[in-house]
């Protein structure tokens, strides 16, 4: 089956996740800057979670640019990713209300780790059919950023109980690491487009060369050109007609 329904469903779920997160932002009680400033922890947590959701959406979009067919395992792996992402609004709200508290910071990082693992499982579910997704396997390569991200998440979860500020900083560092969409897939896609354009140009050149070769062979074998024959035949016919008319005119003079 194709990827259209899977990507459409994923886009819808991610849009709902972002909507729920922004609805968790509370209005200030008063109208002063002090009242507004009291909301900064929740806003920081929202910005961080929004970045993560946007990163997953961007990379998911790039990933399925190189996928042509999906099966049941890919569908379930994608649903697993969406399950963990759908918990981000809850963890974000808790983190925002108790900013830099050890346990909410730890739970937030653990959820980010589970989301990353779910995305890797989705990649593996796709790559198990390497003969169908050879270009994607080439693009993903060794996955250095994937491994580095998992290492940062694990380290942040371990230090969250004692240094929650450092843990949040590490969450932000991983987000910055993935802020630019995966260039590996973009390079493969660009290479594929160039190859297709070159292939089309070569096909056109081959057709032109084949036509020229056929024409040369016809001349070598003594096969006249049809257009030339038609032209010569038309010229001869016109010449005969003109000669016949002139003959008729001459006969009239003699009769006279």
Q: What is the pLDDT of residues 211-226, one digit of tens each?
A: 555 555 555 555 555 4
- One domain, residues 206 and 169: no
What Rg, from alpha-carbon coordinates, does the chain have? 36
- One domain, residues 116 and 174: yes
Distance, in Å, from the CA atom of 55 to the CA atom of 44, rounded to the nearest integer, reads: 17
Distance, in Å, from the CA atom of 88 to the CA atom of 118, rounded to the nearest integer, reads: 14
Domain assignment of residue 192, yes or no = no
Mean predicted lDDT score pLDDT of the chain:
80
| Pure H helices in 64-182 | 72-86, 88-97, 102-127, 134-140, 144-159, 164-177
- The answer, yes or no, to whether residue 32 has pLDDT greater than 70, is yes
Instruction: For residues 29-41, give the mean pLDDT.
Output: 87
Looking at 181, 210, 235, the residue that finishes a domain is: 181
- One domain, residues 132 and 39: yes
Q: Which two tokens stand for residue 150?
A: 């998992």
Domain assignment of residue 172, yes or no = yes
| Burial letters 96-124, b for 16+ CB under 10 A, else e | beebeeeebbbbbbbbbbbbbbbbbbbbe
Number of structural domains found in the chain: 2
- One domain, residues 117 and 42: yes
Instruction: For residues 152-176, give the mean pLDDT.
Output: 95
Q: Which of 95, 132, 88 is nearest to 113 (CA)?
A: 88
pLDDT band at residue 158 under the 50/70/90 scheme: very high
- The answer, yes or no, to whether residue 143 has pLDDT greater than 90, is no
- One domain, residues 204 and 172: no
Output the pLDDT for position 37: 86
Domain assignment of residue 89, yes or no = yes
Q: Which two tokens stand for residue 141?
A: 């390569």
Q: Is 100 left (phi over 0), alpha (psi -120 to 50) or beta?
A: left
Q: Which two tokens stand for residue 199?
A: 């292939």
pTM of the model: 0.72
Distance, in Å, from the CA atom of 57 to the CA atom of 131, rounded to the nearest integer, reads: 26
Domain assignment of residue 190, yes or no = no
Domain that holds residue 223: 198-255
Distance, in Å, from the CA atom of 57 to the CA atom of 247, rounded to the nearest integer, reads: 88
60, 126, 133, 219 from 141: Cα distances, Å? 17, 14, 13, 55
Of 186 and 228, the structure prediction assigns the larger pLDDT to 186
Position of tokens 């979009």? 61
Distance, in Å, from the CA atom of 82 to the CA atom of 236, rounded to the nearest integer, reads: 80
Domain assignment of residue 193, yes or no = no
| 18 contact partners, CB below 8 Å, separation of at least 6 | 50, 53
Looking at 181, 212, 229, the residue that finishes a domain is: 181
Instruction: For residues 153-168, give the mean pLDDT.
Output: 95
């Amino acid at each position: 089956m194709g990827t259209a329904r899977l990507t459409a469903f994923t886009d819808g779920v991610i849009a709902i996740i972002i909507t729920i997160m922004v609805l968790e932002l509370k209005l200030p009680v008063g109208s002063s800057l002090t009242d507004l400033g009291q909301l900064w922890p929740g806003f920081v947590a929202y910005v961080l979670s929004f970045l993560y959701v946007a990163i997953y959406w961007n990379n998911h979009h790039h990933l399925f640019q190189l996928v042509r067919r999906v099966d049941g395992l890919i569908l379930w792996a994608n649903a697993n990713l969406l399950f963990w992402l759908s918990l981000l609004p809850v963890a974000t709200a808790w983190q925002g209300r108790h900013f830099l508290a050890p346990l909410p910071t730890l739970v937030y990082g653990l959820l980010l780790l589970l989301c990353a693992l779910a995305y890797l499982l989705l990649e593996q579910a796709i790559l198990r059919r390497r003969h169908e997704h050879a270009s994607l396997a080439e693009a993903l390569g060794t996955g250095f950023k994937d491994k580095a991200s998992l290492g940062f998440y694990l380290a942040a979860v371990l230090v969250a109980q004692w240094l929650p500020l450092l843990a949040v900083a590490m969450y932000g560092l991983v987000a910055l690491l993935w802020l630019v969409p995966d260039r590996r897939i973009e390079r493969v896609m660009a290479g594929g487009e160039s190859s297709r354009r070159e292939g089309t140009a070569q096909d056109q050149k081959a057709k032109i060369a084949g036509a020229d070769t056929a024409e040369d062979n016809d001349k070598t074998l003594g096969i006249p050109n049809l257009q030339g024959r038609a032209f010569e035949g038309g010229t001869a016919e016109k010449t005969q007609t003109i000669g016949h008319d002139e003959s008729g005119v001459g006969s009239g003079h003699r009769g006279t």
